[in-house]
Structure 1
Amino acid sequence: MDRCASMFPAGWFTSGPDVLWGMSSTYGFVPYEILPVLPDVPFDGSFSWLPPLPARRSPLTYEEEHGDGSLASLPRLRAEARGRGLEIPEVFMRFVATPAIYERVPSITGCFLGFSMSVVRDPSSSRGGMLRFLNDSQGCAFWYLYMTPSGDHCILASDQWLDGGDDEQSALDPQQCFWCAQSLEHFLYRFWLEDEIWTRVKRNQPLSPEQQQYLADAIAARHRLPAPSQRIDGSHPTRC
Protein backbone atom coordinates (compact mmCIF):
# COMPACT_ATOMS: atom_id res chain seq x y z
CA MET A 1 0.00 0.00 0.00
CA ASP A 2 1.00 3.66 -0.36
CA ARG A 3 0.93 6.38 2.25
CA CYS A 4 -2.56 7.46 1.17
CA ALA A 5 -3.75 4.14 2.57
CA SER A 6 -2.95 5.22 6.11
CA MET A 7 -5.63 7.92 5.92
CA PHE A 8 -8.57 5.58 5.22
CA PRO A 9 -9.67 2.02 5.94
CA ALA A 10 -8.79 -0.31 3.09
CA GLY A 11 -11.37 -2.35 1.22
CA TRP A 12 -12.77 -3.32 -2.16
CA PHE A 13 -16.29 -3.27 -3.59
CA THR A 14 -16.47 -6.29 -5.88
CA SER A 15 -19.28 -6.64 -8.41
CA GLY A 16 -20.94 -9.97 -9.07
CA PRO A 17 -19.46 -11.42 -5.86
CA ASP A 18 -21.28 -14.75 -6.19
CA VAL A 19 -18.58 -16.17 -8.48
CA LEU A 20 -15.53 -14.91 -6.60
CA TRP A 21 -16.71 -14.66 -3.01
CA GLY A 22 -19.92 -16.65 -2.70
CA MET A 23 -22.08 -13.62 -1.83
CA SER A 24 -25.60 -13.31 -3.25
CA SER A 25 -25.67 -9.56 -3.82
CA THR A 26 -24.89 -7.00 -6.49
CA TYR A 27 -21.72 -5.89 -4.72
CA GLY A 28 -19.67 -7.40 -1.96
CA PHE A 29 -17.30 -5.65 0.41
CA VAL A 30 -13.94 -7.41 0.71
CA PRO A 31 -11.22 -6.37 3.20
CA TYR A 32 -8.22 -5.36 1.17
CA GLU A 33 -5.81 -7.65 2.97
CA ILE A 34 -7.56 -10.79 1.69
CA LEU A 35 -7.79 -9.74 -1.96
CA PRO A 36 -5.82 -11.92 -4.39
CA VAL A 37 -2.48 -10.46 -5.45
CA LEU A 38 -2.60 -8.96 -8.93
CA PRO A 39 -0.49 -10.50 -11.69
CA ASP A 40 2.74 -8.73 -12.59
CA VAL A 41 1.49 -6.16 -15.10
CA PRO A 42 3.34 -3.10 -16.45
CA PHE A 43 1.39 -0.16 -15.05
CA ASP A 44 3.20 2.52 -17.03
CA GLY A 45 0.31 4.71 -18.15
CA SER A 46 0.04 3.08 -21.58
CA PHE A 47 -2.83 0.73 -20.64
CA SER A 48 -1.13 -1.84 -22.86
CA TRP A 49 -2.52 -4.63 -20.64
CA LEU A 50 -6.09 -3.74 -21.60
CA PRO A 51 -7.33 -5.88 -24.53
CA PRO A 52 -10.05 -4.92 -27.01
CA LEU A 53 -13.56 -5.29 -25.64
CA PRO A 54 -15.11 -8.61 -26.69
CA ALA A 55 -18.39 -8.70 -28.58
CA ARG A 56 -21.60 -8.62 -26.52
CA ARG A 57 -20.00 -6.57 -23.77
CA SER A 58 -21.11 -3.12 -22.60
CA PRO A 59 -18.27 -0.59 -22.30
CA LEU A 60 -17.88 2.25 -19.87
CA THR A 61 -19.37 5.45 -21.26
CA TYR A 62 -20.32 8.85 -19.91
CA GLU A 63 -23.81 9.25 -18.51
CA GLU A 64 -24.18 12.37 -20.61
CA GLU A 65 -22.09 13.99 -23.33
CA HIS A 66 -22.57 17.52 -22.02
CA GLY A 67 -23.17 19.00 -18.60
CA ASP A 68 -21.52 19.28 -15.22
CA GLY A 69 -20.63 15.60 -14.95
CA SER A 70 -19.36 15.14 -18.48
CA LEU A 71 -15.88 15.28 -19.96
CA ALA A 72 -16.54 18.91 -20.87
CA SER A 73 -16.42 19.80 -17.16
CA LEU A 74 -12.88 18.45 -16.70
CA PRO A 75 -10.95 21.66 -17.56
CA ARG A 76 -12.97 23.52 -14.93
CA LEU A 77 -12.40 20.77 -12.37
CA ARG A 78 -8.68 20.68 -13.15
CA ALA A 79 -8.46 24.43 -12.60
CA GLU A 80 -10.37 24.09 -9.33
CA ALA A 81 -8.03 21.35 -8.15
CA ARG A 82 -4.97 23.47 -8.99
CA GLY A 83 -6.52 26.33 -7.05
CA ARG A 84 -6.49 24.04 -4.02
CA GLY A 85 -2.87 23.01 -4.59
CA LEU A 86 -3.85 19.65 -6.12
CA GLU A 87 -3.16 18.11 -9.51
CA ILE A 88 -5.26 15.64 -11.47
CA PRO A 89 -2.65 13.13 -12.72
CA GLU A 90 -1.95 12.82 -16.43
CA VAL A 91 -2.73 9.09 -16.45
CA PHE A 92 -6.22 9.90 -15.18
CA MET A 93 -6.67 12.67 -17.77
CA ARG A 94 -5.62 10.30 -20.52
CA PHE A 95 -7.97 7.56 -19.43
CA VAL A 96 -11.13 9.65 -19.05
CA ALA A 97 -10.48 11.62 -22.27
CA THR A 98 -9.69 8.67 -24.55
CA PRO A 99 -12.64 6.55 -25.74
CA ALA A 100 -10.21 4.04 -27.26
CA ILE A 101 -9.10 3.29 -23.69
CA TYR A 102 -12.14 3.63 -21.44
CA GLU A 103 -14.42 1.86 -23.92
CA ARG A 104 -12.25 -1.25 -23.50
CA VAL A 105 -13.33 -1.49 -19.85
CA PRO A 106 -16.67 -3.29 -19.33
CA SER A 107 -18.99 -3.25 -16.33
CA ILE A 108 -21.41 -6.06 -15.54
CA THR A 109 -23.32 -3.71 -13.21
CA GLY A 110 -23.71 -0.87 -15.71
CA CYS A 111 -21.22 1.52 -14.13
CA PHE A 112 -20.73 4.79 -15.98
CA LEU A 113 -18.25 7.65 -16.04
CA GLY A 114 -19.31 10.99 -14.62
CA PHE A 115 -17.61 13.59 -12.43
CA SER A 116 -18.68 15.29 -9.24
CA MET A 117 -19.78 18.88 -9.61
CA SER A 118 -16.72 20.07 -7.69
CA VAL A 119 -13.63 18.66 -6.03
CA VAL A 120 -14.87 17.02 -2.82
CA ARG A 121 -13.18 18.12 0.39
CA ASP A 122 -10.87 15.63 2.04
CA PRO A 123 -12.84 13.69 4.69
CA SER A 124 -9.56 12.71 6.36
CA SER A 125 -8.69 16.39 6.99
CA SER A 126 -5.33 15.86 5.28
CA ARG A 127 -5.67 18.77 2.79
CA GLY A 128 -6.31 16.45 -0.13
CA GLY A 129 -9.31 16.32 -2.42
CA MET A 130 -11.58 13.78 -4.08
CA LEU A 131 -13.09 13.69 -7.55
CA ARG A 132 -15.90 11.24 -8.21
CA PHE A 133 -15.42 9.65 -11.63
CA LEU A 134 -17.11 6.23 -11.68
CA ASN A 135 -20.68 5.52 -10.61
CA ASP A 136 -22.73 2.37 -10.21
CA SER A 137 -25.95 2.49 -12.23
CA GLN A 138 -28.09 1.74 -9.16
CA GLY A 139 -26.21 3.96 -6.73
CA CYS A 140 -24.65 1.03 -4.87
CA ALA A 141 -21.04 2.20 -5.08
CA PHE A 142 -18.95 5.13 -6.26
CA TRP A 143 -15.25 5.59 -6.93
CA TYR A 144 -13.15 8.69 -6.38
CA LEU A 145 -9.75 9.90 -7.47
CA TYR A 146 -8.01 11.05 -4.28
CA MET A 147 -5.29 13.69 -4.69
CA THR A 148 -2.76 14.90 -2.12
CA PRO A 149 -0.86 18.21 -2.04
CA SER A 150 2.38 16.26 -2.57
CA GLY A 151 1.13 15.06 -5.97
CA ASP A 152 0.27 11.49 -4.99
CA HIS A 153 -3.00 9.90 -5.96
CA CYS A 154 -4.97 6.77 -5.15
CA ILE A 155 -8.50 5.48 -5.67
CA LEU A 156 -11.18 5.46 -2.98
CA ALA A 157 -14.45 3.53 -3.01
CA SER A 158 -17.57 4.48 -1.07
CA ASP A 159 -21.30 3.92 -0.93
CA GLN A 160 -21.61 7.69 -0.41
CA TRP A 161 -22.55 9.82 -3.43
CA LEU A 162 -20.65 13.09 -3.00
CA ASP A 163 -20.85 16.02 -5.38
CA GLY A 164 -18.59 18.58 -3.75
CA GLY A 165 -21.13 21.02 -2.32
CA ASP A 166 -20.27 22.92 0.85
CA ASP A 167 -23.34 21.49 2.59
CA GLU A 168 -21.90 17.99 2.25
CA GLN A 169 -18.94 18.53 4.53
CA SER A 170 -20.74 17.64 7.74
CA ALA A 171 -21.92 14.38 6.16
CA LEU A 172 -18.47 13.18 5.11
CA ASP A 173 -17.42 10.05 6.96
CA PRO A 174 -13.81 8.94 6.38
CA GLN A 175 -14.71 5.49 7.70
CA GLN A 176 -17.06 5.05 4.73
CA CYS A 177 -14.36 5.94 2.20
CA PHE A 178 -12.14 2.96 1.48
CA TRP A 179 -8.65 2.99 0.01
CA CYS A 180 -8.95 0.41 -2.77
CA ALA A 181 -6.00 0.92 -5.11
CA GLN A 182 -2.66 2.70 -5.09
CA SER A 183 -3.18 4.09 -8.59
CA LEU A 184 -5.79 4.39 -11.31
CA GLU A 185 -4.26 1.58 -13.35
CA HIS A 186 -4.13 -0.79 -10.37
CA PHE A 187 -7.81 -0.07 -9.77
CA LEU A 188 -8.84 -0.50 -13.39
CA TYR A 189 -6.92 -3.74 -13.76
CA ARG A 190 -8.63 -5.39 -10.79
CA PHE A 191 -12.01 -3.96 -11.85
CA TRP A 192 -11.52 -5.34 -15.38
CA LEU A 193 -10.11 -8.67 -14.21
CA GLU A 194 -13.00 -9.43 -11.87
CA ASP A 195 -15.51 -8.44 -14.54
CA GLU A 196 -13.83 -10.78 -17.03
CA ILE A 197 -13.80 -13.69 -14.57
CA TRP A 198 -17.49 -13.27 -13.71
CA THR A 199 -18.53 -13.04 -17.35
CA ARG A 200 -16.45 -16.00 -18.51
CA VAL A 201 -17.67 -18.22 -15.68
CA LYS A 202 -21.31 -17.31 -16.33
CA ARG A 203 -20.89 -17.98 -20.06
CA ASN A 204 -18.89 -21.18 -19.57
CA GLN A 205 -15.93 -19.66 -21.36
CA PRO A 206 -12.32 -20.64 -20.53
CA LEU A 207 -10.29 -18.53 -18.12
CA SER A 208 -6.73 -17.46 -18.75
CA PRO A 209 -4.10 -18.83 -16.35
CA GLU A 210 -4.02 -15.47 -14.54
CA GLN A 211 -7.81 -15.47 -14.21
CA GLN A 212 -7.81 -19.06 -12.96
CA GLN A 213 -5.26 -18.17 -10.28
CA TYR A 214 -7.14 -15.06 -9.18
CA LEU A 215 -10.40 -17.00 -8.87
CA ALA A 216 -8.72 -19.83 -6.97
CA ASP A 217 -7.13 -17.36 -4.55
CA ALA A 218 -10.46 -15.61 -3.94
CA ILE A 219 -12.26 -18.87 -3.25
CA ALA A 220 -9.47 -19.93 -0.87
CA ALA A 221 -9.83 -16.64 1.04
CA ARG A 222 -13.60 -16.78 1.49
CA HIS A 223 -13.28 -18.09 5.04
CA ARG A 224 -11.58 -14.82 5.99
CA LEU A 225 -14.54 -12.65 4.98
CA PRO A 226 -16.31 -10.74 7.79
CA ALA A 227 -19.47 -12.29 9.18
CA PRO A 228 -22.60 -11.28 7.21
CA SER A 229 -23.74 -8.94 9.98
CA GLN A 230 -20.47 -7.01 9.63
CA ARG A 231 -20.41 -6.73 5.85
CA ILE A 232 -20.98 -3.66 3.74
CA ASP A 233 -22.17 -5.45 0.67
CA GLY A 234 -24.59 -3.47 -1.46
CA SER A 235 -27.51 -5.78 -0.64
CA HIS A 236 -29.24 -3.08 1.38
CA PRO A 237 -32.55 -2.37 -0.42
CA THR A 238 -31.84 1.35 -0.57
CA ARG A 239 -28.58 0.64 -2.39
CA CYS A 240 -29.39 -2.17 -4.86
Structure 2
Amino acid sequence: MGERTAFDVSSVGFDAAWHATDLGEYRACRYTYESYSYESLPPLGPDLHTGAFQWFGGVGDVLPERVVRLDGLAGKLTARGLTLPQDFVTFQTHANTYLSLDEVSVTGCWTNMSEPLPSPVEPGAVLVRFFRDQQDCVIWYLYLRPTGETFVVFSHLDYEYEYEARQDGEAVQTDLDDVEEQRAAIFWCAPSFEEFAHRFWVENRLWRAISDGELPPAEAQLRDYLDHYVLSRPGA
Protein backbone atom coordinates (compact mmCIF):
# COMPACT_ATOMS: atom_id res chain seq x y z
CA MET A 1 0.00 0.00 0.00
CA GLY A 2 3.05 2.25 -0.23
CA GLU A 3 5.81 3.37 2.10
CA ARG A 4 5.04 5.29 5.25
CA THR A 5 6.32 8.85 5.23
CA ALA A 6 8.94 9.39 7.92
CA PHE A 7 7.25 11.13 10.84
CA ASP A 8 8.91 12.03 14.11
CA VAL A 9 6.17 11.06 16.55
CA SER A 10 8.31 12.19 19.46
CA SER A 11 7.90 15.77 18.23
CA VAL A 12 4.17 15.87 18.99
CA GLY A 13 4.59 15.50 22.74
CA PHE A 14 2.26 12.52 23.17
CA ASP A 15 2.71 8.77 23.13
CA ALA A 16 1.60 7.27 19.82
CA ALA A 17 -0.85 4.38 19.44
CA TRP A 18 -3.75 3.13 17.33
CA HIS A 19 -6.78 2.10 19.39
CA ALA A 20 -8.91 -0.46 17.57
CA THR A 21 -10.40 -3.93 17.60
CA ASP A 22 -9.10 -7.23 16.22
CA LEU A 23 -8.61 -8.25 12.61
CA GLY A 24 -9.45 -11.91 13.08
CA GLU A 25 -6.43 -14.20 13.09
CA TYR A 26 -4.29 -11.44 11.61
CA ARG A 27 -4.30 -9.17 14.68
CA ALA A 28 -5.47 -10.27 18.11
CA CYS A 29 -7.40 -8.13 20.58
CA ARG A 30 -8.04 -9.16 24.18
CA TYR A 31 -10.98 -6.84 24.76
CA THR A 32 -13.30 -4.67 22.66
CA TYR A 33 -10.33 -2.43 21.91
CA GLU A 34 -6.61 -2.63 22.25
CA SER A 35 -3.84 -0.13 21.63
CA TYR A 36 -1.33 -1.06 18.91
CA SER A 37 1.94 0.73 18.28
CA TYR A 38 1.77 3.12 15.35
CA GLU A 39 4.96 1.60 13.93
CA SER A 40 3.29 -1.81 13.71
CA LEU A 41 0.49 -0.59 11.42
CA PRO A 42 0.42 -1.19 7.66
CA PRO A 43 1.39 1.94 5.69
CA LEU A 44 -1.48 3.44 3.73
CA GLY A 45 0.45 5.39 1.12
CA PRO A 46 0.78 9.12 1.87
CA ASP A 47 0.22 9.94 -1.80
CA LEU A 48 -3.42 8.92 -1.29
CA HIS A 49 -4.06 11.62 1.30
CA THR A 50 -4.56 14.70 -0.83
CA GLY A 51 -7.79 15.94 0.75
CA ALA A 52 -9.90 14.62 -2.14
CA PHE A 53 -10.61 11.21 -0.52
CA GLN A 54 -10.05 9.40 -3.81
CA TRP A 55 -9.49 6.15 -1.89
CA PHE A 56 -13.12 6.45 -0.81
CA GLY A 57 -14.41 7.01 -4.33
CA GLY A 58 -15.28 10.70 -4.07
CA VAL A 59 -17.05 12.86 -1.53
CA GLY A 60 -20.38 13.52 -3.29
CA ASP A 61 -22.58 16.58 -3.09
CA VAL A 62 -22.21 19.41 -0.59
CA LEU A 63 -24.55 19.30 2.43
CA PRO A 64 -25.54 22.95 3.08
CA GLU A 65 -26.61 22.33 6.68
CA ARG A 66 -23.23 20.78 7.45
CA VAL A 67 -21.44 23.73 5.86
CA VAL A 68 -23.31 26.03 8.26
CA ARG A 69 -22.28 23.83 11.22
CA LEU A 70 -18.63 23.75 10.19
CA ASP A 71 -18.58 27.47 9.43
CA GLY A 72 -19.79 28.13 12.97
CA LEU A 73 -17.07 25.93 14.45
CA ALA A 74 -14.45 27.48 12.17
CA GLY A 75 -15.46 30.96 13.31
CA LYS A 76 -14.94 30.05 16.96
CA LEU A 77 -11.52 28.63 16.15
CA THR A 78 -10.56 31.68 14.09
CA ALA A 79 -11.20 33.82 17.16
CA ARG A 80 -8.50 31.74 18.87
CA GLY A 81 -6.11 32.01 15.95
CA LEU A 82 -6.73 28.43 14.86
CA THR A 83 -7.96 26.85 11.62
CA LEU A 84 -9.87 23.66 10.89
CA PRO A 85 -7.95 21.34 8.54
CA GLN A 86 -9.50 21.33 5.07
CA ASP A 87 -9.62 17.53 4.83
CA PHE A 88 -11.82 17.47 7.94
CA VAL A 89 -14.12 20.18 6.55
CA THR A 90 -14.45 18.35 3.23
CA PHE A 91 -15.27 15.03 4.90
CA GLN A 92 -17.84 16.52 7.25
CA THR A 93 -19.68 18.59 4.63
CA HIS A 94 -20.22 16.14 1.76
CA ALA A 95 -22.91 13.52 1.33
CA ASN A 96 -20.79 10.43 0.58
CA THR A 97 -18.33 10.88 3.40
CA TYR A 98 -20.33 12.44 6.25
CA LEU A 99 -21.39 9.65 8.66
CA SER A 100 -19.60 7.03 6.54
CA LEU A 101 -17.40 6.05 9.49
CA ASP A 102 -20.52 5.60 11.64
CA GLU A 103 -21.97 3.28 9.02
CA VAL A 104 -18.88 1.10 8.76
CA SER A 105 -17.98 0.97 12.46
CA VAL A 106 -18.22 -2.53 13.94
CA THR A 107 -18.21 -1.23 17.53
CA GLY A 108 -20.98 1.36 17.23
CA CYS A 109 -18.82 4.47 16.98
CA TRP A 110 -20.59 7.64 15.96
CA THR A 111 -19.91 11.19 14.83
CA ASN A 112 -20.30 13.62 17.71
CA MET A 113 -18.72 17.05 17.38
CA SER A 114 -17.87 19.33 20.27
CA GLU A 115 -17.15 23.01 20.59
CA PRO A 116 -13.47 23.98 20.86
CA LEU A 117 -12.04 22.65 24.14
CA PRO A 118 -8.81 23.95 25.68
CA SER A 119 -5.97 21.47 25.69
CA PRO A 120 -5.22 20.52 29.31
CA VAL A 121 -1.51 20.22 28.51
CA GLU A 122 -0.66 23.05 26.10
CA PRO A 123 -1.68 26.73 26.34
CA GLY A 124 -3.36 27.96 23.16
CA ALA A 125 -3.97 24.49 21.74
CA VAL A 126 -7.50 23.15 21.31
CA LEU A 127 -9.28 19.79 21.17
CA VAL A 128 -12.34 19.26 18.97
CA ARG A 129 -14.12 15.98 19.60
CA PHE A 130 -15.47 14.45 16.39
CA PHE A 131 -15.99 10.71 16.95
CA ARG A 132 -16.68 8.44 19.90
CA ASP A 133 -17.36 4.85 20.83
CA GLN A 134 -20.96 4.12 21.82
CA GLN A 135 -19.86 3.29 25.38
CA ASP A 136 -17.18 6.00 25.50
CA CYS A 137 -14.38 3.46 25.66
CA VAL A 138 -12.45 5.73 23.33
CA ILE A 139 -13.05 9.27 22.05
CA TRP A 140 -11.25 10.86 19.10
CA TYR A 141 -10.32 14.54 18.76
CA LEU A 142 -8.69 16.91 16.35
CA TYR A 143 -5.75 18.51 18.11
CA LEU A 144 -5.09 22.04 16.85
CA ARG A 145 -1.96 24.01 17.71
CA PRO A 146 -1.35 27.77 17.32
CA THR A 147 1.58 26.84 15.05
CA GLY A 148 -0.93 25.51 12.50
CA GLU A 149 -0.03 21.88 13.22
CA THR A 150 -3.06 19.57 13.35
CA PHE A 151 -3.31 15.86 14.07
CA VAL A 152 -5.69 13.30 15.56
CA VAL A 153 -5.56 12.07 19.15
CA PHE A 154 -7.70 9.78 21.26
CA SER A 155 -8.47 9.52 24.96
CA HIS A 156 -10.76 7.69 27.34
CA LEU A 157 -11.80 11.08 28.67
CA ASP A 158 -14.64 13.21 27.33
CA TYR A 159 -13.07 16.60 27.88
CA GLU A 160 -16.27 18.47 27.15
CA TYR A 161 -17.94 16.67 30.05
CA GLU A 162 -14.89 17.10 32.29
CA TYR A 163 -14.73 20.86 31.77
CA GLU A 164 -18.48 21.32 32.19
CA ALA A 165 -18.55 19.18 35.34
CA ARG A 166 -15.71 21.15 36.90
CA GLN A 167 -17.43 24.44 36.04
CA ASP A 168 -20.64 23.20 37.67
CA GLY A 169 -18.82 21.98 40.78
CA GLU A 170 -19.56 18.32 40.06
CA ALA A 171 -17.23 15.36 40.53
CA VAL A 172 -14.79 14.75 37.68
CA GLN A 173 -12.78 11.69 36.66
CA THR A 174 -9.47 13.46 36.48
CA ASP A 175 -7.43 16.42 37.67
CA LEU A 176 -7.51 18.75 34.69
CA ASP A 177 -4.72 20.83 36.21
CA ASP A 178 -2.32 17.90 36.43
CA VAL A 179 -0.41 18.24 33.16
CA GLU A 180 1.38 14.90 33.45
CA GLU A 181 -1.85 13.04 34.19
CA GLN A 182 -3.53 14.65 31.20
CA ARG A 183 -0.61 14.03 28.87
CA ALA A 184 -0.75 10.35 29.81
CA ALA A 185 -4.48 10.27 28.95
CA ILE A 186 -4.03 11.60 25.40
CA PHE A 187 -2.51 9.54 22.57
CA TRP A 188 -1.46 10.68 19.11
CA CYS A 189 -2.89 8.31 16.45
CA ALA A 190 -2.70 9.93 12.99
CA PRO A 191 -0.85 12.83 11.37
CA SER A 192 -3.98 14.00 9.56
CA PHE A 193 -7.72 13.53 9.71
CA GLU A 194 -7.71 11.86 6.30
CA GLU A 195 -5.23 9.20 7.40
CA PHE A 196 -7.36 8.51 10.49
CA ALA A 197 -10.52 8.19 8.37
CA HIS A 198 -8.78 6.00 5.80
CA ARG A 199 -7.35 3.57 8.35
CA PHE A 200 -10.62 3.39 10.30
CA TRP A 201 -12.55 2.74 7.08
CA VAL A 202 -10.14 0.03 5.92
CA GLU A 203 -9.95 -1.77 9.25
CA ASN A 204 -13.68 -1.85 9.93
CA ARG A 205 -14.47 -3.08 6.42
CA LEU A 206 -11.75 -5.69 6.84
CA TRP A 207 -13.28 -6.88 10.11
CA ARG A 208 -16.62 -7.43 8.40
CA ALA A 209 -15.02 -9.18 5.43
CA ILE A 210 -13.01 -11.49 7.69
CA SER A 211 -16.11 -12.27 9.75
CA ASP A 212 -18.00 -13.11 6.56
CA GLY A 213 -15.14 -15.34 5.46
CA GLU A 214 -14.43 -13.60 2.17
CA LEU A 215 -12.59 -10.46 1.09
CA PRO A 216 -14.16 -8.45 -1.75
CA PRO A 217 -12.18 -9.51 -4.86
CA ALA A 218 -11.81 -5.94 -6.13
CA GLU A 219 -10.54 -4.56 -2.82
CA ALA A 220 -6.79 -4.81 -3.33
CA GLN A 221 -6.12 -2.36 -0.53
CA LEU A 222 -7.84 -4.65 1.97
CA ARG A 223 -5.73 -7.63 0.90
CA ASP A 224 -2.57 -5.51 1.00
CA TYR A 225 -3.42 -4.41 4.53
CA LEU A 226 -3.69 -8.00 5.72
CA ASP A 227 -0.54 -9.00 3.83
CA HIS A 228 1.39 -6.64 6.08
CA TYR A 229 0.37 -8.71 9.12
CA VAL A 230 1.06 -12.01 7.35
CA LEU A 231 4.56 -10.86 6.40
CA SER A 232 5.18 -9.54 9.90
CA ARG A 233 4.67 -12.96 11.51
CA PRO A 234 7.77 -14.65 12.91
CA GLY A 235 9.32 -16.89 10.24
CA ALA A 236 7.34 -15.28 7.40
Q: TM-score, normalised by structure 1?
A: 0.74
User: What is the alpha-carbon distance in structure 1 between the residues aligned to residue 233 and residue 70 of structure 2?
Assistant: 40
Give 1 or 2 for the bigger CA radius of gyration.
2
Match of 2:81? 85
| Unmatched segments (≥5 aa) in structure 2 | 1-6, 59-64, 167-171
Cα–Cα, structure 1 residues 86 and 211, in superposed 2: closer, same or farther, change >3 Å? Answer: same
Secondary structure at 1:49's aligned position in 2? helix
Task: Tell me which residue corresponds to 1:60.
Answer: none
Q: Which residue of 2 aligns with 1:46?
A: 52
1:213 counterpart = 2:224? yes
1:9 to 15, 23, 46: 15
Q: Deviations over 1:155-213 (max 9, x none)?
A: 11111111173637337611221111111111111111111111111111225333223
**Structure 1 segments unaligned to the other structure (5+ residues):** 53-65, 224-240
> For residues 223 and 24 of structure 2, what CA distance do their matches in structure 1 show?
16
> 1:103-135 CA distances to partner (integer Å, 9 max, x unpaired)?
44311111111112x312123315311100001
Structure 1 position 96 matched with structure 2 position 92: yes
Distance 2:229 2:183 in 1: 27
- Secondary structure of the equivalent of 1:191? helix
Q: Which moved more, 1:141-150 or 1:157-166?
A: 157-166
1:113 to 82, 107, 111: 111
| 2:136 is the alignment partner of 1:125 | no
Following superposition, the deviation at residue 2 of structure 1 comes to: 5.7
Farther off after superposition, 34-43 or 172-181: 34-43
Give % identity.
27
Counterpart residue number, 2:177:
170
1:90 deviation in Å? 2.2
Larger relative contact order, structure 1 or 2 (CA cutoff 8 Å, min sep 6): 1
C-alpha displacement at 1:16, in angstroms? 3.6
Do the aligned residues in 2 keep the contact of 1:140 with 1:159 (CA within 8 Å)?
Answer: yes
2:62 is aligned to none
Does the C-alpha gap of structure 1 residues 159 and 3 become closer, same or farther in structure 2, counting only changes over 3 Å? Answer: same
Aligned residues: 206
Residues 7 and 124, structure 1, Cα contact 8 Å, conserved in 2: no
> Residues of 1 paired with 2:133 and 2:67: CA distance?
18
